[in-house]
Amino acid sequence: MSPRVRLTVLQAAAPLVALLLGVVVAAAIMLALGHDPVATFALMASFNLRPASLASIAFKATPLIFAGLAAAMAFRVNLWNIGVEGQYYIGAFAAAMVGFGLRGLPAVIHLPLTILAGVAGGVLWALPPILLRLRRGAHEVITTIMMNYIALALVHYLLADVFRDPAQAGTPRIRTPLLAASARMPGLHDALALAGIELPGHSALNWLLPVGILLCVALALLLSTTRAGYEVRAVAHGAGAAEAAGIPLDRVHLMMFAGSGALAGLVGLNDLLGFFGYFDVDFPKGLGFLGISVALLAKNHPVGIIFAALLFGYLDRGAEGIQVFSRVPREVITILQAVTILAIVVAYEGVSRYLRALRTREAAVPGAATPGPEAA
Amino acid sequence: MAAEPVIQLRDITKRFPGVVANDGVTVEVGRGEIHAVVGENGAGKSTLMKILYGLYRPDAGEILIRGRPVALDGPRHALHLGIGMVHQHFMLVPGFTVTENIILGSEPASHGRLDRARARAVVARLCQQFGFRLDPDAQVQTLSVGEQQRIEILKVLYRGAEILILDEPTAVLVPQEVEELFTNLRRLRADGKTILFISHKLDEVLAIADRITVLRRGRVVGTVAAGATKAALAEMMVGRPVLLALERSPAAPGELMLEAQDLTVADGDGRALVRGVSLAVRGGEIYAIAGVEGNGQSELVEALVGLRPLAGGRVLVGGAPVARHTVREARSRGVAHVPEDRHRRGLVLPMAVWENLILGHHRRRSFLRGPFLRMPAILEFGRQRVAEFDVRVPALRTPALALSGGNQQKLVLARELAFQPRVLIAAQPTRGLDIGATEFVRRQLLAARAEGRAVLLVSADLDEVLTLADRIGVMYNGRIAAEFAHGEATPAELGLYMVGTERKGREGAP
């Protein structure tokens, strides 16, 4: 069937075409600024292929995998969790508190507890919006955005006035005490060395990357092969029919949103447990919003999120490279990312329109055959 | 030919990828003629009308309007040539008056200001000229469906149409309204208007049309004059003889299977939509609820299947009250539901045929291994259901939205009638289906009855209600206004109760 093949090609090509469009716009800006786009992209590629850069890309991609998954999980069932940002902030701070607050525990207990605290913080921050949505019909876009502001203010208050490291008194540093070593996430150096890959010594790449990738694969399998996944897909694609079939909509919505918050709670741990070892006033912001972009680019598909996150890591690292070595402002790359996302939204809309047209036409095919034994 | 042809469609061919929607279609319509185009869903009626209305361009063939070849490039152009379309789904602004709706888009204005007086006068004159009973100042939301349809027709006439295309105009009307529509159409004909009438209701077509063109699979099977028999037309449409009268075994009512006791349902603001409805359906019996849509039928069904909370009363299945008022509880007690809105409630359209077939059954142990779906068992179930109900699908993994309406409804029935339900609640089960599929669905309802299931049928189609039901309840304004046994009421009588002019039975005055 040629239309079907064409559709598959279209679906696969959409993100690539969108990316290409982003590259073209970025190139135009570089030209306007008097830089050579071909040379710049070539520089970016060669810079990114250095071992240190590869490690950095993987490190940058790690939180984006969790953030993308968090956003996608809610988006899947048409809940717009714009609050990943606040949820990861609260989650990371909760993890930090467990990390520096408990002492003398063995790592096998302390590290899981710390991670759990992150998850709990994320869920805690996701619950008010979803409960307000289910009980009172308050739109989650509004409430999650508000929760983001509250999260930021709350964390800054706790950081500066309650849990500030006394050892830093008299310095301009506003941060928590150092986390216990037993709460830190071990690096990937040893594991990669076993595989014959030498990770640069200063790299902060840690076990959260494989955890994130595994989570993606596990969620993809869960969605496609389990009863729970089936119910989620039914709610996602036809809430009315799912409800008429006895699937409790509210419970699915609650579970998915809480799950989204739980994953959001993991976003900040890469930097907290794998790199800084303390939570300070400059703790990375914006990862939650990037996660929304990652989810959009991946069309909410868990495995697609791995690639989307890696692409964002690549662009981010590349932006640092070209800023240093060719004095092209890194904002050009931010624009490239934004244009790609815009284009992808438009492209997916185009593809789904084509899909609709195709299916209405197919529906008009008189007397398609009854399936034989080879069907399905 | 009554007069010189106003519309000539010659050898129109329109292809879509994989389908020839119209294949060398030739139709000629004379001035002052009511010409019906009939055919099953997918026969190419709509495509042909969209070509005539300028929405599609034909791949081959030519269109002549008043003898002159034209290349239509849109509805605006079609309207300019005097061709107007009355859509099946009304496009009216509820808060506007009749006049405002009619002039919307081509308002009479003087110096940029809307000339209300002139607009009102024009509309009043149109109503008078064609004998339309319509108050130009009435708000659309207060009007009946029949009156709203009159507005749609006037909209087209206001824009100067000489040729009117009516797409399934009777689908939403009660018998009295159909009569009035036909009276109006005859007046338009007398005034020299040409009318193209698309339908698959053969009785109505035979009652109104001067000539009838039958399409099947994109081709013209023939054009016949009024006076053809219904059976002949049906055979032309379907391509094989059709049994129009269904075999109906004598009633053998059994145990009480479904009971509603004093059921009351309210909307979010506490307004009662269903007001104290009591009914009882026995096994081996079809109880039909007739009524104009929006009189509480949908809400009653949703309450019975557990989709809507009850404001009062209770539901009994198999003689025992339903413990928890949820869909899952109702289903586990053996209540099957063919929802009124098959696209929104009946199927998850983007999901595959097999996924739709287990919807609601997906918690059965035979379909699960631990938390996982047991695919071999599910696919086997799917193959068996699809074969038994003759659902035409290319493969079990085809998404439901790729199926025709008839096949979609077969899919719903195949699912709902699996696992021996005690009660089948079918809401508008043949709406929008072609003759073949309608016949199939009705047979399934009768088969369920013969197997001793209790069938509650909600239908706006009076023929369907009268042929299938053992008992008929007419619903008006949230109440059962009257109950009849099979053969006790004529369509016209039912119609009176449906519009609230008559009331009888247990419910009393409001």
Tell me, yes or no, whether A279 and A335 share the same domain. Answer: no
Tokens of B39: 């055919």
Average pLDDT rounded to a whole number, residues A314-343: 86
Closest by Cα among B410, B418, B416, B352 to B381: B418
Report the share of chain B in percent with pLDDT over 70.
Answer: 97
Task: Please name the residue of chain A whose CA is at the shortest distance from the CA of residue B364.
Answer: A227
Cβ neighbours of residue B42 closer than 8 Å, sequence gap 6 or more: A363, A364, A366, B217, B404, B434
Residue A114 backbone dihedrals phi, psi, to 5 degrees: -65, -45
Q: What is the pTM of this model?
A: 0.80
pLDDT at B144: 82
Contact A361 B19 (CB under 8 A): yes
**Identity of the residue numbered B222:** G
Tell me, yes or no, whether A224 and A102 share the same domain. Answer: yes
Strands B113-114 and B109-110: antiparallel
Contact B347 A231 (CB under 8 A): no
Cβ neighbours of residue B191 closer than 8 Å, sequence gap 6 or more: B129, B130
Residue B52 CB neighbour total at 10 angstroms: 25
Which residue in B350, B359, B368 is closest to A245 by CB distance? B359
Q: Which of residues 244-263 of A touch B (CB under 8 A)?
A: 244-246, 248
Return the residue in B15, B16, B384 with the most chain A beta carbons within 10 A, the one to mutate for interface testing.
B16
Q: Residue B64 gets which letter from DSSP?
A: E
Residues of chain B found within 8 Å of residue A371, distances taken between Cβ atoms:
383, 386, 393-396
Within a domain: A3: no
Residue A240 in contact with partner chain B when CB distance is under 8 A: yes
Rounded-to-integer distance, Cα A181 and Cα A114, Å: 12
Number of folded domains in chain A? Answer: 2
Residue A5 in contact with partner chain B when CB distance is under 8 A: no
pLDDT tens digits, one per residue of A54-106: 999 999 999 999 999 999 999 999 999 999 999 999 999 999 999 999 999 99
Residue A109 in contact with partner chain B when CB distance is under 8 A: no
3-state secondary structure B476-489: ECCEEEEEEECCCC
Residue ranges covered by each domain of chain B: 5-238, 256-498
ipTM > 0.90? no
Helix-helix angle B145-158:B116-130, to 10 degrees = 110
Rounded-to-integer distance, Cα B33 and Cα B191, Å: 11
pLDDT tens digits, one per residue of A204-218: 999 999 999 999 999
pLDDT at B171: 73
Which residue in A231, A244, A362 is closest to B339 by CB distance? A244
Tokens of A38: 């071909």
Burial class from Cβ neighbours inside 10 Å (0-12, 13-18, 19+) for residue A4 reads: exposed
Tell me, yes or no, whether A174 and A210 share the same domain. Answer: yes
Full domain range(s) for residue A29: 13-35+330-361
Give the pLDDT band of residue A4 (cuts 50, 70, 90): low
Cβ neighbours of residue A215 closer than 8 Å, sequence gap 6 or more: A65, A66, A69, A263, A302
Q: For the domain that residue A229 is a member of, what is the CATH number?
A: 1.10.3470
Contact B17 A359 (CB under 8 A): no
Q: Which of residues 320-359 of A touch B (CB under 8 A)?
A: 358-359
Tell me, yes or no, whether A180 and A285 share the same domain. Answer: yes
pLDDT tens digits, one per residue of B85-140: 988 778 899 899 999 999 888 777 777 788 888 889 989 998 888 888 888 999 98
Task: Please name the residue of chain A whose CA is at the shortest distance from the CA of residue B308.
Answer: A244
Closest by Cα among A76, A88, A12 to A307: A12
3-state secondary structure B401-426: HHCCHHHHHHHHHHHHCCCCCCEEEE
Mean pLDDT of chain B: 88
Contact B355 A230 (CB under 8 A): yes
Residues of chain B found within 8 Å of residue A375, distances taken between Cβ atoms:
383, 393-397
pLDDT at A366: 40
Contact B359 A367 (CB under 8 A): no
A328 neighbors A35 (Cβ within 8 angstroms): yes
pLDDT tens digits, one per residue of B314-359: 999 998 998 889 999 999 999 999 999 888 999 999 899 999 999 9
Rounded-to-integer distance, Cα A38 and Cα B221, Å: 64
Which residue in A3, A246, A375 is closest to B331 by CB distance? A246
Token look-up 């009512």 returns B253
A68 neighbors A298 (Cβ within 8 angstroms): yes
Tell me, yes or no, whether A170 and A280 share the same domain. Answer: yes
Q: What is the dotted CATH code of the domain comprising B256-498?
A: 3.40.50.300
Tokens of B265: 């349902």
Return the residue in B15, B307, B325, B362 with the most chain A beta carbons within 10 A, the one to mutate for interface testing.
B362
The DSSP bridge partners found for residue A80 are none
Within a domain: A1: no
Which residue in A241, A363, A373 is closest to B346 by CB distance? A241
Rounded-to-integer distance, Cα B79 and Cα B150, Å: 18
Residues of chain B found within 8 Å of residue A238, distances taken between Cβ atoms:
344, 347-351
Mean pLDDT lowest for which of A150-159, A174-183, A349-358, B337-346? A349-358
Domain boundary among A302, A327, A352: A327
Residue A4 in contact with partner chain B when CB distance is under 8 A: no
Query: Minimal Cα–Cα distance from B5 to chain A, Å?
Result: 30
Q: Is residue A364 predicted with pLDDT exceeding 90?
A: no
Residue A363 in contact with partner chain B when CB distance is under 8 A: yes
Mean pLDDT lowest for which of A86-90, B56-60, B372-376, B435-439? B435-439
Tell me, yes or no, whether A342 and A291 share the same domain. Answer: no
Tokens of B486: 């099979």
Mean pLDDT of chain A: 89
Residues of chain B found within 8 Å of residue A3, distances taken between Cβ atoms:
17-18
Average pLDDT rounded to a whole number, residues B28-50: 88
Extended strands (E) in A167-299: none
Domains B5-238 and B256-498 fall in the same CATH topology: yes
Within a domain: A27: yes
Within a domain: A214: yes
Tokens of A321: 């490279």
Distances (CA, A) of A259 to A120, A148, A309: 10, 17, 19
Burial A253-273 (b: 16+ CB within 10 A, else e): bbbbbbbbbbbbbbbbbbbbb
Give the H/E segment covering residue B272.
strand B272-282
Contact B395 A375 (CB under 8 A): yes
Which residue in B331, B373, B387 is closest to A227 by CB distance? B373
Rounded-to-integer distance, Cα B333 and Cα B327, Å: 10
Task: Please name the residue of chain A whose CA is at the shortest distance from the CA of residue B16.
Answer: A361
Within a domain: A271: yes
Residue A50 backbone dihedrals phi, psi, to 5 degrees: -65, 150
Give the pLDDT band of residue B1 (cuts 50, 70, 90): very low
Tokens of A27: 């190139």
Residue A228 in contact with partner chain B when CB distance is under 8 A: yes
Rounded-to-integer distance, Cα B385 and Cα B357, Å: 8
Rounded-to-integer distance, Cα A71 and Cα A81, Å: 6
Tell me, yes or no, whether A318 and A347 share the same domain. Answer: no
Contact B360 A227 (CB under 8 A): no
pLDDT at A348: 77
Burial B249-262 (b: 16+ CB within 10 A, else e): eeeebeebbbbbee
Rounded-to-integer distance, Cα A264 and Cα A73, Å: 10
Return the residue in B338, B357, B366, B372 with the most chain A beta carbons within 10 A, the one to mutate for interface testing.
B372
Tokens of B307: 């989709």
Contact B394 A237 (CB under 8 A): no
Within a domain: A4: no
Residues of chain A found within 8 Å of residue B373, distances taken between Cβ atoms:
225-227, 230
Contact A231 B368 (CB under 8 A): no
pLDDT tens digits, one per residue of B440-486: 999 999 999 999 999 999 998 888 899 999 999 999 999 999 999 98
Contact B392 A243 (CB under 8 A): no
pLDDT at A65: 98
Burial B201-232 (b: 16+ CB within 10 A, else e): bbebbbebbbbbbbbbbbbbbebbeeebeeee
Residues of chain A found within 8 Å of residue B404, distances taken between Cβ atoms:
363-364
Residue B488 CB neighbour total at 10 angstroms: 12
Query: Pseudo-torsion of CA B498, B500, B502, B506, nearest 10°?
Result: 90
Contact B373 A226 (CB under 8 A): yes
Contact A238 B351 (CB under 8 A): yes
Cβ neighbours of residue A151 closer than 8 Å, sequence gap 6 or more: A83, A85, A86, A87, A89, A90, A125
Task: Please name the residue of chain A whose CA is at the shortest distance from the CA of residue B365.
Answer: A227
Q: Is residue B507 predicted with pLDDT exceeding 70?
A: no
Return the residue in B322, B335, B351, B353 with the most chain A beta carbons within 10 A, the one to mutate for interface testing.
B351
Task: Please name the residue of chain A whose CA is at the shortest distance from the CA of residue B361.
Answer: A245
Return the residue in A11, A136, A361, A374 with the most chain B beta carbons within 10 A, the one to mutate for interface testing.
A361
Rounded-to-integer distance, Cα B193 and Cα B157, Å: 10
Tell me, yes or no, whether A201 and A62 share the same domain. Answer: yes
Rounded-to-integer distance, Cα A277 and Cα A287, Å: 18
Give the pLDDT band of residue A358 (cuts 50, 70, 90): low
Which residue in A230, A364, A375 is closest to B16 by CB distance? A364
Q: Residue A272 gets which letter from DSSP?
A: I
Closest by Cα among B269, B439, B394, B470 to B18: B394
Give the H/E segment covering residue A341.
helix A331-363
Rounded-to-integer distance, Cα B149 and Cα B146, Å: 5
HSE value, Cβ hemisphere, 13 Å, CA-based, for A82: 11
Give the pLDDT band of residue A372 (cuts 50, 70, 90): very low
Distances (CA, A) of A35 to A52, A110, A328: 26, 51, 7
Within a domain: A372: no
pLDDT tens digits, one per residue of B408-431: 999 999 999 999 999 999 999 998
Superfamily covering domain B5-238? P-loop containing nucleotide triphosphate hydrolases (3.40.50.300)
Tell me, yes or no, whether A288 and A157 share the same domain. Answer: yes
